[in-house]
Structure 1
Amino acid sequence: MFFVDRSVAVIKPKQPFHQWLHALPDNDLDLTLDTLRSNCNAILLPDFDEPEKCVAYLDEIYEQLFKMELAGWCEDTALWPQDMSLKAFWEWFDVEIHSQVFDSVEGDITNRPAGETE
């Protein structure tokens, strides 16, 4: 195992996200909030020594995170919520922050833009 000099944030939808998702037109998904929260996006962050610094960093990039979470379910931005403020982000998502990240795979990590496949 190899220590990775990053922190990680796990973005977990809350009830407002769940309600928005089920209100989308032509949505036949029958997902519970617990199901949504069981397999969430994990974001690598700089290696912070204090949780407050990590939260401050998330506050800086919240708009990207908000859009990423919405786009994962609906690409039509006209259907996205009107209020995508920092306050709304924290109302729509819980964030678990983990300060230690380990890589169990030997070999280099490959970077590619979000949404791009090999």
Structure 2
Amino acid sequence: MYFVDRSVAVIKPRAPFLEWLNAVPGNDTDLSLDSLRSDCTVILMPEFTDPEEGVSYIDDIYDQLFRMELASWYEDEALWPAERSLKTFWEWFDVEIHSTLIDSVEGDLRNYPAGEV
């Protein structure tokens, strides 16, 4: 095991995200907020020493994160909410920021562009 020179953020949907998801026409999923939050997106971020640096980084990339979360359910942007401001992002998602990342797997990491796994 070894330390990785990154921090991590866990992006967890909140009730407004679930409300949007349930309001999408033709949506036949029956999800609870608990089920949505049980397997969340985790992103690697630059290493930081002050948690506020992590929050600032999320603020800088919130639009990409918001779009990624919406696209993970519906690629048709016409179904997405029109309001996707930074304020809305923080209302729709909790973000847990962690400063320590340890790789427990032997071997090199492989990089894939988002959405191409």
Same fold at TM > 0.5: yes
Which residue of structure 1 lines up, in the alignment, with residue 78 of structure 2?
78
Structure 2 unaligned regions, length at least 5: none
Letter in 1 for 2:75: E
Equivalent-residue separation in structure 1 for 2:79 and 2:31 (angstroms):
19
Q: Could you list the per-position Cα deviations for residues 33-54 of structure 1 after superposition, in whole angstroms to 9, with x for gaps in the alignment?
A: 0110010000000001000011
2:37 is paired with a residue whose SS is helix
Letter in 2 for 1:25: P
Which residue of structure 1 lines up, in the alignment, with residue 33 of structure 2?
33
In the TM superposition, residue 23 of structure 1 has moved relative to its aligned partner by 0.8
Of stretches 3-12 and 20-29 in structure 1, the one that deviates more from structure 2 is 20-29
Letter in 2 for 1:112: Y
Q: Equivalences for 1:1-118 in 2 at 5 Å? A: 1-117=1-117
How many residue pairs are counted as aligned between the two chains?
117
Identical aligned residues as a percent: 67
In the TM superposition, residue 85 of structure 1 has moved relative to its aligned partner by 0.3
Runs of 4+ off more than 3 Å: none
Q: TM-score by structure 2 length?
A: 0.98
In the TM superposition, residue 18 of structure 1 has moved relative to its aligned partner by 0.2
Equivalent-residue separation in structure 1 for 2:104 and 2:21 (angstroms):
34
CA RMSD of aligned residues (A): 0.6
Equivalent-residue separation in structure 2 for 1:68 and 1:48 (angstroms):
23
In the TM superposition, residue 24 of structure 1 has moved relative to its aligned partner by 1.0
Equivalent-residue separation in structure 2 for 1:95 and 1:60 (angstroms):
14
In the TM superposition, residue 91 of structure 1 has moved relative to its aligned partner by 0.3
Q: TM-score by structure 1 length?
A: 0.97
